[in-house]
Amino acid sequence: MSDTAVIEAEALTKRYGRFTAVDRLDLAIRQGEVFGLLGPNGSGKTTTILMLLGLTEVTEGKVRVVGLDPTHDPLEVKRRVAYMPDTVGFYDGLSGRENLRYTARLAGIERDQVEARITEALTRLNLADVGDKRVGAYSRGMRQRLGLAEVLMKRPDVAILDEPTAGLDPQSTHALLDIILGLKHDGITVVLSSHLLNQVQRICDRVGLFNKGRLALEGTIPELVQRVLGSSVRLVVEAHGGQVAEALTRLPNTRIEMLAPNRWRLTADRDYREQVSTAIQRVGGQILALGIEEPSLDEVYTRYFEGERRAA
């Protein structure tokens, strides 16, 4: 991943009448990273994407995508940026290969390169054996993979993916996320908009949390955890022994929660696994598992918006 920014926004603003959809957004997305756009419906994510693609005019501020102004150079931006919406639209009466040929013409891909690119993309997305079948017979997962095949075929600098795994079963979701990581390995910058926070946590290098048209938080997930949840350390311990629970409650400056029989979560200001182990051994307990529990992006998201509601 490079420090070079391929997407830059400065005080980017979009108003519809008196309603401000995006409010003075400052954003920099680096070359080769996977950046997650998070936030509830109506928070400004989709409007931001539309401005990045040159599909809606900017009210105020500046935006550059691969060095171009999407308002003044929309066709060149579309050539170098691939966009996969949440519902991928294809012609059901055409085959997967025919749909990609049509897209290739629109994208201005050289005619002598089209078939090789299509075959490469279909093969990589495990669609080579159904490439000549009508898309109307495809499952949702196959249609999503065909959408990513379209992205690969264009060989873009940036791929913007809007809810790419929505409605997929776990196996298809897992496969699609691996493919998205493959885009990163190809040097493609990926902007991922999703409500599925566990997936964002798995593949994103950094995330931006939108709220009421503003970028409320931005950074790596550990950075957001520090800002929203603080620096406390959580341990999960599983142990057998009649006096284990009592021994754990005697640990100083520690909050203890029972998760299940013989399983607890302990929260303190530092890593104290050694003290926990010693306390359990002193009462003759047997430790079955003891480790640090990493906070989830879901917790960060929930805690942040709970704080916003209380403040309101």
Domain shared by 116 and 25, yes or no = yes
Q: What pLDDT, on a 0 to 100 scale, did the predictor assign at position 53?
A: 93
User: Per residue in 224-265, pLDDT tens?
Assistant: 998 998 888 899 999 998 799 999 999 988 999 999 999 999
Stated as kind and residue range, the H or E segment containing 140 is helix 140-154
Domain shared by 111 and 246, yes or no = no
User: Which of the listed residues 219, 254, 280 is the one where a domain comes to its end?
Assistant: 219
Nearest CA-CA partner of 268 in 304, 292, 247, 290: 292
Q: Is 306 inside a domain boundary? A: no
Cα-based torsion angle of the residue sequence 287, 292, 297, 302 in order, rounded to the nearest 10 degrees? 70
Residue 62: give its domain's CATH number.
3.40.50.300
Rounded to an integer, what distance in angstroms lies between the CA atom of residue 200 and that of residue 177? Answer: 9
Domain shared by 63 and 169, yes or no = yes
Domain shared by 257 and 161, yes or no = no
Q: Using pLDDT thresholds of 50, 70 and 90, give the confidence band for residue 86.
A: confident
Q: Is 274 inside a domain boundary? A: yes
Rounded to an integer, what distance in angstroms lies between the CA atom of residue 312 and that of residue 297? Answer: 23
Q: Is 128 inside a domain boundary? A: yes
Tokens of 278: 């010693």
Domain shared by 20 and 115, yes or no = yes
Q: What is this structure's pTM?
A: 0.85
Domain shared by 70 and 89, yes or no = yes
Domain shared by 58 and 200, yes or no = yes
Domain shared by 56 and 197, yes or no = yes
> Is there a contact between 298 and 194 (Cβ–Cβ < 8 Å)?
no
Domain shared by 214 and 238, yes or no = no
- 142-178 burial by CB neighbour count: b if 16+ within 10 A, else e? bbbbbbbbbbbbbbbbbbbbbbbbeebeeebbebbbe
The separation between the first and the last C-alpha atoms of the chain, rounded to the nearest angstrom, is 39
- Which domain range does residue 183 map to? 5-219
Rounded to an integer, what distance in angstroms lies between the CA atom of residue 216 and that of residue 212? Answer: 9
Residue 238: give its domain's CATH number.
3.30.70.100
Give the percent of the chain with pLDDT over 70: 99
Nearest CA-CA partner of 165 in 156, 157, 174: 174
Q: What pLDDT, on a 0 to 100 scale, did the predictor assign at position 1?
A: 56
* Number of domains into which the chain is organized: 2
Domain shared by 262 and 202, yes or no = no
CB atoms within 10 A of CB 131: 20
User: Which of the listed residues 165, 192, 219 is the one where a domain comes to its end?
Assistant: 219
